[in-house]
A and B are shown apart, each in its own frame.
Chain A
Amino acid sequence: MSTFYFIAFLSVFFSILVITAKNPVHSILYLILTFSTFTVHYILMNAQFLAVVNFIVYMGAILVLFLYTLMLINLNKESEPRKSNLVKIAGFVGGACFLITIVAALKAWGTSHPVVLNDPNLGLVKNLGKILFNEYLLPFEVSSILLLSAMVGAVLLATKDPKTA
């Protein structure tokens, strides 16, 4: 349990650094550290497959692309759009309202009971695969169609219209 609290502290700490870092590349690097603490969380919950997939997909691919994009964009102080104080105050008030709403909602909900898994080895590859392809086959396939449609949309945006080109 103490391991959990230590890792949870690190997750929160790095996430705060993500939004407070001045340099966008630094904040992506903190985001990578945040995701690496998530991997440890998954391992603590004995979800090895999810841990490794989080490691490969998020840390190894998606964040590399984030870093790639940010390195190419020129994010100097001069090119950054100036925000007036009014916008900042409005943002602060909006964010605070949102925070209060969420806290109140969680309070009304009451403290949740600790989740007890029927099978603690559910996260191992073999068990996870069997569950996904037997009990949850339809949602699993539907989510893959969702990903496919996102991919088709991205290709459509990237290709130039032959008439205008």
Chain B
Amino acid sequence: MGVADIVIKFVLIVIIFAISLVIAMYSTYAERKIAAFFQDRVGPNRAGPWGILQPLADGGKMFLKEEIIPTNASPFLFIAGPSLAILTACIGSAVIPWGQQITIGKYVIPLQVTDINVGILYIFGVVSLGVYGVMIGGWASNNKYSLLGAIRAASQNISYEISMGLSIIALLMVTGTLSLKEIAEQQHGWHWNVLYQPVGFLLFIICAFAETNRTPFDLPECETELVGGYHTEYSSMKLGFYLFAEYINMFISSAVMATLYWGGYNYPGMDWVLAHTGPAIGPLIGTAVMFAKVFLFIFFFMWVRWTIPRFRYDQLMDLGWKILIPLAIANIIVTGLWITFIK
């Protein structure tokens, strides 16, 4: 690996990191604007034209607020909680293929930070670590509401991880590889996996909502029962990190869904476009398509949040254990029969 390769990787990592942060920032703005649209209000419109500077104002406010660590809280773990939440949210993007490789002269730039051959499992591992940030923060606050929120988060994540894993198994039976790069390449043109795995995608998106703690699965921070849930005691930028981690998670899970099921950077007629635009510009159009899909999913996350009310806790567990897991197992069996007899 030469110096040029290392520089390319480094620049790519910085760009992806910056993009995830900017998208997370503007997701907060989009969320408020969309909420306003759904509720027939105007939404944030004071900071800058159309309120476009609102995320910066929010960030500045978060940094300048007083930082409070409760007297009986465990100080190290109290700070470790939000740090872990934002860390696990940020490292998931390392294995996502954002586009085909770009060729400029003699340089070949792969638009993926690293292609490990267990890419899906890596994402899955990062997702399962994400719950520690919430659990540690909730426990370290030394507050009953925070603890209840943390415990809800843990049981919810573990329950929905099972059906998420089972829905991925059915997908892997179709693709035959764990590498996200190969999965994206297999879906060339319009051969998107959602056509072969519609039930698997439905299961995956429900579990993605649960894993990112979005409504209707936001019981860990249910205001009507738990004040603020696991982040009741948090203030200033530590609270900001928790909220920010949720938006980054939303972005990453949208990107994973787009890659696994909706073709990633592939679109119908991409060969024609590639042949006419050349190897330097063509892949960038694929990347733009990828981001369009990601934005659609982020919009879908927000659409659901302002449409569907929150579940009750027993309904959440019933859905996870009695409906999604049997459905996922049936999906695996049907996929197996389909591969054996028809394909």
A residues touching B (Cβ–Cβ < 8 Å)?
25, 29, 32, 48-49, 52-53, 55-56, 59-61, 64-65, 67-68, 71-72, 124-125
Complex Cα spacing A99 to B80, Å: 36
Which one of B125, B128, B131, B132 has the greatest number of beta carbons of chain A within 10 Å? B125
Complex Cα spacing A62 to B139, Å: 18
Given A68-B151, A71-B150, decide whether A125 and B117 contact each other with a Cβ distance below 8 A.
yes
**Contact partner of B117 among A48, A60, A64, A72, CB < 8 A?**
A48
Asked if residues A60 and B129 are in contact (CB atoms below 8 Å), the reply is yes
**Contact partner of A67 among B127, B135, B161, B178, CB < 8 A?**
B135
Asked if residues A55 and B125 are in contact (CB atoms below 8 Å), the reply is yes
Complex Cα spacing A9 to B234, Å: 35
**Inside 8 A of A53's CB, which chain B residues have their CB?**
121
Closest to A63 in B: B132
**Contact partner of A64 among B121, B124, B157, CB < 8 A?**
B157
Asked if residues A48 and B155 are in contact (CB atoms below 8 Å), the reply is no
B328 CB-CB contact with A under 8 Å: no
**Inside 8 A of B157's CB, which chain A residues have their CB?**
64
B111 CB-CB contact with A under 8 Å: no
Complex Cα spacing A52 to B118, Å: 8
B173 CB-CB contact with A under 8 Å: no
Is the contact region of chain A dominated by helix, strand, or loop, or is it mixed? helix
**What are 26 A-B interface contacts by the 8 Å CB criterion?**
A29-B77, A32-B132, A48-B116, A48-B117, A52-B118, A52-B122, A55-B129, A56-B125, A59-B125, A59-B128, A59-B129, A60-B125, A60-B161, A61-B128, A61-B158, A64-B128, A64-B135, A64-B154, A64-B157, A67-B132, A68-B151, A68-B154, A68-B155, A71-B139, A71-B150, A125-B117
Contact pattern, B 90-133, Cβ under 8 Å of A = 1, otherwise 0: 00000000000000000000000000111001101101110110
**Inside 8 A of B125's CB, which chain A residues have their CB?**
52, 55-56, 59-60
**Contact partner of A124 among B117, B129, B135, CB < 8 A?**
B117
Asked if residues A125 and B128 are in contact (CB atoms below 8 Å), the reply is no
Closest to A72 in B: B151
**Inside 8 A of A25's CB, which chain B residues have their CB?**
139
B136 CB-CB contact with A under 8 Å: yes
**Inside 8 A of A59's CB, which chain B residues have their CB?**
125, 128-129
Complex Cα spacing A64 to B161, Å: 12
**Inside 8 A of B124's CB, which chain A residues have their CB?**
52, 56, 60
B238 to chain A, nearest CB (A): 18
**Inside 8 A of A64's CB, which chain B residues have their CB?**
128, 131-132, 135, 154, 157-158
**Which chain B residues in 144-158 approach chain A with CB under 8 Å?**
147, 150-151, 154-155, 157-158
Asked if residues B131 and A125 are in contact (CB atoms below 8 Å), the reply is no
Closest to A70 in B: B139
Complex Cα spacing A68 to B149, Å: 12
B147 to chain A, nearest CB (A): 6
Asked if residues B178 and A125 are in contact (CB atoms below 8 Å), the reply is yes
